[in-house]
Amino acid sequence: MTKRIRTYRELTGEDHSGLGAQVGAQHDRVRRRLASVTHTVAVMSGKGGVGKSFVTAALATALARVGRRVGVLDADFHGPTAARMLGARAGRLDVTDEGVVPATAAGGVRVMSTDLLLPEGAPLAWHEPDHDHFVWRGALEAGTLREFLGDVRWDALDLLLVDLPPGTDRLAALAGLVTPLAGVLTVTIPSDASLRAVQRALAAASGAGIRVLGIVENMAGYACGSCGTVAPLFAGRAADALAEASGAPVLARIPFDAPAQASADAGRIADTGAAWDACRLLASALLARLDAA
C-alpha cells in the first residue's frame, strides 16, 4: 500500500526559499515607492505608430510647465523613444541605497527607460539559454517593469506617466503592480484601422476595471508651419467613435506639426506651435479629469 505523503500545507516548518514571500516583498517595494506618487497614468494605444511616445513626452513637458512634478516611465522596452524626445539620454544613473536616480529632462521631468541602459542602436536582449526564449521573456519584461516602478527614485510626484508599448499585455502587468492605477489615456489617430485596434485596447482596459481617463487624437490634421491652418491628414473619426463607445471624453486633438516632431526627434519638446497648444490643453483636461475622480 502506498504511504500517504503529507502535503505542503501540512508541513509546518519554514519554506526556506519562500518564493511567494519574495514576490510579495517585490510588490511591497513598488507599493512603498509609489506611495509618494499621487497619480500613475498609463498612456496606451492598441496600435503602433500613432505617436504615443510623442504625446507622453509633450504632455509631461506641458504638465511640468504648469508646476506639476512629473515622471515618465518608458515601458516600451523594445522601442524606447520617450527619453530621447525629452532630451534625457546622456549620463550615468547613480545607484544609491535608496534606489536608482532617474535621468532628468527639461522642467525637472524624471525619466527611466531602457534607452538609458542600452548602447546606441542596440536591441533589447537578455542573458538566457539559447532556446525557448518565449518561456521567460514575459517574466523578464514584467520584472523590468516592476524594477522601473519600485527601484527608481521617483521621489514625490504629482503624476507618473507610463508610456506603454502597442498592445495590451503590459497594461495588465502594470495594473497588477500599481494599485490603484489612476487610469489610462488612449492615443489614436483618426483612421478606421486605428479605431479597430484601439477599440480592442479600450475593451481590455475596461475589462480589467481600469478607468479610461480620455481619448487623445494624434495627427488630427496637418498643421501648416507657415500659415498655421490645419488641413486633413487621415480620413476617419476614430476619436469620436471611441469616445462614443467607451463613454470617455476626447481630451485633445493634436495636429501633426512637422517642426514639433523634428524638435522632439532632436531631444526637445517645442513649446510653440499647434501641437504644443493642443498638448497644453491636454494637460489641463487631464488634470481636471484626475481632480474629478
Partner 1 sequence: MKFLCVDCDRQMTFEERQLPGDGTLAAAFRCPACGRTVAMLTNPMETQLVASLGVRIGGRTVPEQPMELVRTTLAGGREDAFADAEPGGSRPPQWDEAAQRRLGAVPSFVRGMVKRIYTDYALERGINVITTEVMDAARSDLGLEGM
Contact 115, 89 (CB under 8 A): yes
Produce one character per residue of 68-101: b if its CB has 16 or more CB atoms within 10 Å, e if not: bbbbbbbbbbeebbbbbbbbbbeeeeeeeeebbb
**Residue whose entry in the numeric block shows the C-alpha cell 509546518:** 12
Helix (H, G, I), strand (E, B) or coil at 186: strand
Instruction: Note whether 226 binds partner 1 by CB under 8 A.
Output: no
d(CA 262, CA 258): 6
Binding of residue 78 to partner 1 (CB under 8 A)? no
Part in contact with partner 1 (CB under 8 A); list of ranges 4-12, 157-165, 172-180, 216-224: 4-12
Given candidates 35, 125, 156, 292, which one binds partner 1 under the rule CB under 8 A? 125
Give the separation between CA 206 and CA 201, rounded to whole angstroms: 9
Question: Is the Cβ of residue 90 or residue 292 nearer to partner 1 in the bound state?
Answer: 90
94 touching partner 1, by CB under 8 A: yes
- Based on the shown chain and the rule CB under 8 A, indicate whether residue 6 belongs to the binding site for partner 1: yes
Distances (CA, A) of 243 to 172, 225, 232, 233, 284: 22, 29, 20, 20, 18
Stretch that binds partner 1, among 12-20, 185-193, 248-256, 275-283 (CB under 8 A): 12-20
User: Out of 16, 35, 227, 235, which residue is the one contacting partner 1 (CB under 8 A)?
Assistant: 16
Rounded CA separation 115/180 (Å)? 27
Distance CA 283, CA 213 (A): 12
Query: Minimum CB separation from partner 1 for residue 7, in Å?
Result: 9
Options 1, 35, 67, 97; binder of partner 1; rule CB under 8 A: 97
List the one residue from 79, 93, 203, 281 that touches partner 1 (CB under 8 A): 93
Q: Which of 31, 38, 100, 240 binds partner 1 (CB under 8 A)?
A: 100
Taking CB under 8 A as the criterion, which residues in 127-156 touch partner 1?
Answer: 127-129, 132, 135-136, 139-140, 143-144, 146-148, 151-152
- Which DSSP symbol is given to 65? H
Binding region for partner 1 (CB under 8 A): 3, 5-6, 8, 11-13, 15-19, 22-23, 25-26, 29, 92-97, 99-100, 114, 116-119, 122, 124-129, 132, 135-136, 139-140, 143-144, 146-148, 151-152
